[in-house]
Amino acid sequence: MQKNNSKSSVAKAFSGIFRNQLFIPIAALLLLALFNFIMDPSFFAISFGHNSAGNPVLSGRLITILDNGSELAILAIGMTLVTAASGGQDISVGAAIAIAGSVILRVLCGGQVSPEHLQAPIIVGFLAACIVAMLFGAFNGVLVAYFKIQPMVATLILYTAGRSIASWINNSQLPIVNEPKFGYFGGLIPGIPIPTPFIIAVICMIVMALVLKFTNLGLYTQAVGINESSSKLNGLNPKFIKLLSFIILGLCVAVAALIKVSRVSTINYSVVAKDIEMDAILAVALGGNALSGGKFSMPASIIGAYVIQFLTTTLYKFNVRADALPAYKAAVIILLVVLSAPVVREKLSSLGKKLKSGTRVKEVG
Amino acid sequence: MQNVDFTLCEGEIHALMGENGAGKSTLIKVLTGVYEKDEGEIFLKGMNKAAVIRSPQDAQKLGISTVYQEITLCPNLSVAENMYIARGKGAGQNWKKMNADADKILKSLDIPAKATQQLSSCSIAIQQMVAIARAVDMDCKVLILDEPTSSLDEQEVQKLFGLMRDLKKRGVGIIFVTHFLDQVYEVSDKITVLRDGKLVGEYEIETLPRVKLVAKMLGKELDDMEEIRDDSLVYKGKDADETVFEAKGLQSNAGIKPFDFYIKRGEVNGFTGLLGSGRSECVRAIFGADRMLHGEVKKNGKKIKISKPIDAMKNGIAYLPEDRKIDGIIGDLSVRENIILALQVLKGFFKPFTKAQAYKFADEYIKLLEIKTASADTPIKSLSGGNQQKVILARWLLMNPEYLILDEPTRGIDIGTKIEIQKLVLKLASEGMSVTFISSETDEMLRTCSRLVVMRDRKVVGELSGEDLTQNKIMSTIAGGDR
Amino acid sequence: MKDKKSSSGGISIGARIKGMSDTNLLLVITIIVFFVMYIGAMVFQGGSFLKPQAFLNILNQQAALIIVSCGLSLVMITGGIDISVGGVVALVSMSCAVYLDYLGGNIVVSILIALAIGLAFGLVQGYLVAYLEIQPFIVTLAGMFFARGMTTIVHTNPFNVANEKFVKLKDTRITIPFLGSNNAKGMYIPAYIEIGVIVALVIVIVFFCLLRWTKLGRGFYAVGGNQYSALMLGINVKRTKFISHLLSGILAGIGGFVYFLHIGSGSPSHATGMEMDAIASSIIGGTMLTGGVGNIIGTFFGVLSLSTIQNIVALAGLDEPWWIGITRAAMLCLFLVVQSIIIANKNKD
């Protein structure tokens, strides 16, 4: 009896693992890691050295992944909330990054193309970007929550206009920041060998984790996403919660924009954060969150974001051209999504059963 | 559901009875190809092989047509299209003929709708009638009616029964699922009872009196069907005469006429009237679920303002909504989260309960109300209707309200749970809670309420209490006074 | 109920609007707005708007978008979305360009290539969405990535096609009598349209009829209106969804060739953002992303409205590059808000 029990509990634990939302993104991550390990173990080498400025620096592909995946991970946080609350996605985050980045440069350069000194403290520029990005988030949120327009369509407006607005803010100029301190956010802080973007991303994650733990944001968002009318009768204000999720995403956008413009100390309106909205949505989906809203898992989305970055870095390593990258990415995405589709899983499990029973019959025969 | 035999003869009306979760819906969904069966076979007249039904189309082709409890029509299409879509041969769509045919049928069945009207502009009752019209017109051999009457009023139900008898004469076999015992005895020939997914038995209607039927459904004898109220269940506190809640000239944007209303401590009262008479709209106005246009409300003699549900909740008013699926449950969330939700919202955004607290609350109420669930973490959508309703009830009881509004708490749930809920209402009232109870079944209201507000055409037309509380008096008040 | 009867005695505009289906109401709004806008432009801006050729040029430029938008509307009516169309158009252009120029192929085969690419995308995406039940957004997003990536794999740099036969076909003009105008020197220039326009118009008519007068077409609406109900009504929901994606893929293929025929070159940056233009056109044309509501004629006018507003802005001297983006977005915003308000008011009842 006991043996049986322990067996079934093992089976239960296994099926629990399979059913866990984190299973797919983690499995994907491990699969990618394994692939790279077989192809070239040096992929995982991390070396410690000093860069040209004499600062200590960690380097290696894993560090690159953590560094470059930061913006995506930060966006995935906000996108998860928006998806859960509104049952739709914000496709304007790339354009919004262009706007927020443009605002930062406008404030820091004060309208000049390449000023010798900063015209305003960096924090002022960042706060201005936060406010602007949250306002645009609120614009999307109002369209979705109060005018009841589907999120993808509502954010299509800003997607179309965003990069134009960004270029309008700086009068079509491309300002350059000459202050080395500004580069810290997208590069390294002297004395700390870990890339700053990753540190910022971790701070965002911790803040979000604390918010989810010490407020009811998670419960409310899920309740609204699953059943709006019922939430309303339970005293919630579904419209406000949807709006809130878009505003939080706006904040994430501002942080990502700071990293983006800091990396290059300037901006290219039509290229900055291009297609990042697609990656962010993908991160949410890879995390096993239903794109139709409702229940969500924040860690799963964040791991999803790093899976995408891992994939990108892997492809670069195999000398895939940057503009051909999407084709390979697409193939991998489809593979992952197909494998995680409930229909496919069901079929596979029934196939497995059939095979098992088939072998048993053979044994008997 | 396992191992159920079911036989339907030509030209009979066969009632399928059972508590919620007994497997009626599952049986029907297997018959119509929505669910796949693991074992067993389905045979149809004139076929010596087992029928293959893998999808609703297959069922439709074999002459099985179905009307489901929930409206399964497309709201964006016209009435005529909803009646004719996915039927007939050819790839083309002949609008003229279709509209003409549809109008003819609508007229013959007295359905007040036009063929070209968009379905979403019809009321729920008319939509249900359209669904029935579609099923009837399909020239079917088997007609399955799954709770078709829950959104119809008395007249429409009679019309439906007339139709069923007609079809019976023409040799159509009808499977009839309902929770209303009266209706079963009015039209059915045979009854099949299911319990816990298993077959209990098949009976001729004459051989199975009501009490026995209920016993078969519950699996136990029922001694307390009739009288559940007695003197021990009356609130006897000192403040029994105090008015807990009072509304004057209340009117919401849901289209009801202004009404006055009050309830005393420990009192159970109710709104009665036909479907669509504005019962739910009244209580929704009290709770702030619809926008208030005029009127003033007082709580314990103090004037308060209720503009949204949270205002009412802060004043100790709780509201269990009419439509459990749309307004009640939050399907993907766990039983625990569903139970604590209202109290949590009341407590505030920045003060979440700890997990331990939430489990404590949930477990307490799961035990108290005997909610059948695998655990507190089970998603509420996988519970049966009656148990879902208990969870919603638990949600509001947890808030410990002074004034509890129950809008159709017994709709679509099994008899056992119905009586449990009625008893609970009386017990709560005896402990000093004021309860407003609404039900379409008058006898339920007579058993629980000590005062009834009668509504007609979205207006309060009378109030009955004491000796006036009889079936006849209610009927005559609803129908229009003293004639 | 009683109130309704008494008020419908006199037929007011309000009552008429109430009686209309959502699809027809939105269609009427779109058409009215287009004409008001165009006539307004003729009156206040005059200039080239007064010449019929200006209108025909819109058609010439937007023929491909019209075709692609038709396919997208179809998917949207069914309740899905297809954002791969822009990528497919680029891939078709590039593939045909490479085939015609480097491999010296003939035009019929290049048309077949275009169709085959569209068909392939339609088949795969349709299968994944309909039968494996994966969210259409994700599937077609991957489709878009794949098509864009493949385009650069086929050929990296933009180039013009010099194939003689093709250039001849590309420059073919179908003149329309009586609609010409005199140029500055007083010479009569006949009005013309390109071949692509004919293709686009045929497709608009065919798909309008398909949606209106066939059972398959009504099935699209039913599935978009309520998928579960459609299943219960006996519609093969999976097949319907599959066909909608299949048709969208094929139309993207055809649209790709028409685009190629108009522009005469292959480039990885071709048709950038075309999927968003197509979605915007469909929405302006009264298709709702929630499904079940929409009309091909509306989509046609949606495309025309979108490019008319661009012309108006350009002609008004607002030629800074950001203006076009901003006005298009503003127009989309306006339409969305107006639609949402009208539908909300109508359903209040």
Q: Is the dihedral of CA C63, C65, C69, C71 positive or negative?
A: positive
With tokens 């105090």, the residue in question is B242
B308 close to A (CB below 8 A): yes
- Residues from chain B contacting residue C222 (CB–CB below 8 Å): 74, 77, 81, 85-86
In angstroms, rounded to a whole number, what is the distance separating the alpha carbons of residues C29 and C297?
Answer: 12
Q: What is the mean pLDDT of residues A74-84?
A: 96
Residue range A61-319 forms a domain whose CATH class is mainly alpha
The string of DSSP letters for C147-172 reads HHHHHHHH-SS-EE---HHHHHHHT-
Query: Is residue A120 exposed (0-12), middle (13-18) or buried (19+ Cβ within 10 Å)?
Result: middle
In angstroms, rounded to a whole number, what is the distance separating the alpha carbons of residues C218 and C210?
Answer: 9
The string of DSSP letters for B326-390 reads III--TTSBHHHHHHHHHHHHH-TT-PPPHHHHHHHHHHHHHHTT---S-TTSBGGGS-HHHHHH
Gyration radius from chain C CA atoms: 21
> Is residue C8 in some structural domain?
no
Question: Which site among A20, A234, A346 would you substitute to test the B interface, given the most B Cβ atoms closer than 10 Å to its Cβ?
Answer: A234
> Is residue C249 in some structural domain?
yes
Question: Which site among C229, C289, C290 would you substitute to test the B interface, given the most B Cβ atoms closer than 10 Å to its Cβ?
Answer: C229
In angstroms, rounded to a whole number, what is the distance separating the alpha carbons of residues A94 and A198?
Answer: 19
In angstroms, rounded to a whole number, what is the distance separating the alpha carbons of residues C6 and B105?
Answer: 25
Residue A215 pLDDT grade (very low, low, confident, very high; cuts 50, 70, 90)? very high
In angstroms, rounded to a whole number, what is the distance separating the alpha carbons of residues B342 and B227?
Answer: 33
Total number of domains constituting chain C: 1
More confident call, B328 vs B45: B328
Chain A CA closest to residue C333? A157
> Is residue C209 in some structural domain?
yes
Whole-model pTM?
0.80
Helix (H) or strand (E) holding B55: none
> Is residue C172 in some structural domain?
no
> Is residue C49 in some structural domain?
no
Residue B440 has pLDDT above 80, yes or no: no
Any chains having at least 3 CB pairs less than 8 A from chain B are: A, C
| B368-427 residues touching A, CB cutoff 8 A | 395
> Is residue C221 in some structural domain?
yes
Sequence-distant (≥ 6) Cβ neighbours of residue B249 within 8 angstroms: B258, B259, B260, B294, B295, B296
Question: Which site among B280, B307, B343, B345 would you substitute to test the A interface, given the most A Cβ atoms closer than 10 Å to its Cβ?
Answer: B345
- Residues from chain B contacting residue C228 (CB–CB below 8 Å): 72
Please tell me the predicted confidence (pLDDT) of residue A361: 46
- Residues from chain C contacting residue A337 (CB–CB below 8 Å): 128, 134, 138-139, 142
Most confident of the ranges B368-372, B411-415, C238-242: C238-242
Whether B342 sits inside 8 A of A235 (CB atoms) is: yes
pLDDT in tens, chain C (349 residues): 334 333 334 456 666 666 677 788 888 888 998 999 899 888 887 777 888 888 898 999 999 999 999 999 999 999 999 989 999 999 999 999 999 988 878 899 999 999 999 999 999 999 999 999 888 888 998 898 899 999 999 988 898 988 888 888 888 888 887 777 777 677 777 888 899 999 999 999 999 999 999 999 999 999 999 998 998 888 999 999 999 999 999 999 999 999 999 999 999 888 888 888 898 899 899 888 778 889 999 999 999 999 998 888 888 877 677 787 888 888 888 888 877 887 777 665 4
Side-chain half-sphere CA neighbours of C69 within 13 A: 34
**How would you classify the pairing of strands C188-194 and C173-182?**
antiparallel
| Residue from the list C142, C320, C325 with its beta carbon closest to the beta carbon of A163 | C325
| Residue from the list B56, B71, B134 with its beta carbon closest to the beta carbon of C231 | B56
Helix (H) or strand (E) holding B450: none
Chain C CA closest to residue A328? C146
Whether A223 sits inside 8 A of B309 (CB atoms) is: no
In angstroms, rounded to a whole number, what is the distance separating the alpha carbons of residues B98 and C215?
Answer: 12
Can you tell me the ipTM of this complex?
0.82
Domain boundaries, chain A: 61-319
Q: What is the mean pLDDT of residues A283-290?
A: 86
The string of DSSP letters for A24-74 reads HHHHHHHHHHHHHHHH-GGGG--EEEE-TTS-EEEESHHHHHHHHTHHHHH
Whether C320 sits inside 8 A of A89 (CB atoms) is: no
- Residues from chain A contacting residue C81 (CB–CB below 8 Å): 152
> Is residue C15 in some structural domain?
no
In angstroms, rounded to a whole number, what is the distance separating the alpha carbons of residues A229 and A227?
Answer: 6
- Residues from chain B contacting residue A231 (CB–CB below 8 Å): 330
- What chain B holds in terms of domains, given with CATH numbers, is 13-218 (3.40.50.300), 231-480 (3.40.50.300)
Chain A CA closest to residue B337? A219
| Residue from the list B73, B91, B121 with its beta carbon closest to the beta carbon of C229 | B73
In angstroms, rounded to a whole number, what is the distance separating the alpha carbons of residues B200 and B193?
Answer: 5
Q: Per-residue pLDDT tens for B322-339?
A: 888 888 899 889 999 999
Any chains having at least 3 CB pairs less than 8 A from chain C are: A, B
Whether A337 sits inside 8 A of C81 (CB atoms) is: no
Average per-residue pLDDT for chain B = 84
More confident call, B431 vs B18: B431
Chain C CA closest to residue B113? C1
SS3 track for A185-203: HCCCCCCCCCCHHHHHHHH
C238 close to B (CB below 8 A): no
| Chain centre to alpha carbon of residue B117 | 27
Domain range enclosing C70 = 55-161+197-302
Query: Is residue B113 exposed (0-12), middle (13-18) or buried (19+ Cβ within 10 Å)?
Result: buried
**How would you classify the pairing of strands B268-272 and B451-456?**
parallel
Q: Which two tokens stand for residue B240?
A: 């029994």
Please tell me the predicted confidence (pLDDT) of residue C4: 39
Whether A281 sits inside 8 A of C150 (CB atoms) is: no
More confident call, B152 vs B204: B204
Please tell me the predicted confidence (pLDDT) of residue B232: 66
Ranges A59-73, A239-253, C234-248, C335-349: which has the least confidence:
C335-349
In angstroms, rounded to a whole number, what is the distance separating the alpha carbons of residues C306 and C327?
Answer: 9
Q: Using an 8 Å Cβ cutoff, are B404 and B428 in contact?
A: yes
Chain A CA closest to residue C91? A327
Whether A227 sits inside 8 A of B345 (CB atoms) is: no
Phi, psi of B235 (to 5 degrees): -70, 130
CB crowding A179-218: b at 16 or more within 10 Å, else e? eeebbebbbbeeeebbbbbbbbbeebbeebeeebeeebbb
Chain A CA closest to residue B321? A233
B78 close to C (CB below 8 A): yes
Ranges A305-309, B76-80, B231-235: which has the least confidence:
B231-235
Please tell me the predicted confidence (pLDDT) of residue C165: 87
Please tell me the predicted confidence (pLDDT) of residue B34: 81
Most confident of the ranges A49-58, B53-62, B94-103: B94-103
Ranges A347-356, B24-33, B144-153, B413-422: which has the least confidence:
A347-356
- Residues from chain B contacting residue A343 (CB–CB below 8 Å): none
How close, in Å, is residue C298 to chain A by CA atoms? Answer: 17
| Residue from the list B345, B350, B351 with its beta carbon closest to the beta carbon of A236 | B345
Residue B234 has pLDDT above 80, yes or no: no
Q: At what angle do helices A196-214 and A61-68 cross, to 10 degrees?
A: 50
Count of CB pairs separated by less than 8 Å, B with C: 93
B243 close to C (CB below 8 A): no
B334 close to C (CB below 8 A): no
Q: Per-residue pLDDT tens for A148-181?
A: 888 887 898 898 889 989 999 998 888 999 888 8
Sequence-distant (≥ 6) Cβ neighbours of residue A254 within 8 angstroms: A100, A126, A129, A130, A132, A133, A134
B92 close to C (CB below 8 A): yes
Q: Which two tokens stand for residue B391?
A: 């969870």
Whether A233 sits inside 8 A of B321 (CB atoms) is: yes
Residue A145 pLDDT grade (very low, low, confident, very high; cuts 50, 70, 90)? very high
